[in-house]
Amino acid sequence: RRSSDLDYRAEQTELFPIGVANARYDSEKASVKGIFVQDYYNLSPQVRLNAGARYDDYQVRDMKQQRLTADGLSPNLGLSFAMNEHFRLFAGYSSALRGRLTTNSFVLDNRSNAANLQAEQAHHRQIGAEYIAGAWHLNANLFDTLIEDAIGEFKRVYQNLGDVQNRGYDLKFSYHLTTVRLGGSVA
C-alpha cells in the first residue's frame, strides 16, 4: 500500500498599529514545500516492513529582512512481527526536519530570529507491543527522541538552544462498546 503526498504551506504575518501616526509596519513571510513517499512490504504473513521519506524546503523572510532557509530529507523505517492474530511486536525509527515559520503577530514587534538560526532535526526510536482481542485494545511503547539544535526562545530571540533528549514509555488501553469507547493511558 504505497502512499505519497505533495504539500505547500505559505504564511504571512503582519502587524500595523491602528490609529498611530507614522507607525511602523512589520511583516514576515514563510513557506514550506514538502514531498512524502511511504510504502509497506509484507515480507511474510507475519512480518511487515514500512519505509518512507519526506523532503522539506523551508524559506523565511523575517521582520528584519533576514532570509532563513533549511531543507533536508527525513527518512523512516519500521518493522512489525505478528506473533498471532491478537499480539504484535514492532520497532521503528523516524526523523523530522523542522525550520522556522512566521512569528505570531501579537509578539512580532518584540521577537526576532538569530541570524545563524538552523532547522532542528528530530530522531525518534521506539519499540512496542500491541494486543487486540474482541473489544480490548492494549498498546505499550518505549521511546527515545533526540532533537538536535532545538529551536526555542531565549531573551525574545528564537535560536538554537542545544539538544533535547526525551526518553520514556506510554501505555494505552481501550474497550470498544457498540456506541461508547472507554480508555485510558499513561506516559
Q: In the prediction, which pLDDT does 106 show?
A: 77
* Residue-wise pLDDT tens digits, 17-37: 777 777 767 789 999 999 999
Q: Which whole-number Å values give the CA distances from 42 to 1, 48, 75, 78, 138, in the listed order?
A: 10, 5, 19, 12, 23
* Residue-wise pLDDT tens digits, 45-96: 999 999 999 999 999 999 889 999 999 999 999 999 999 999 999 999 999 9
pTM of the predicted model, to two decimals?
A: 0.84
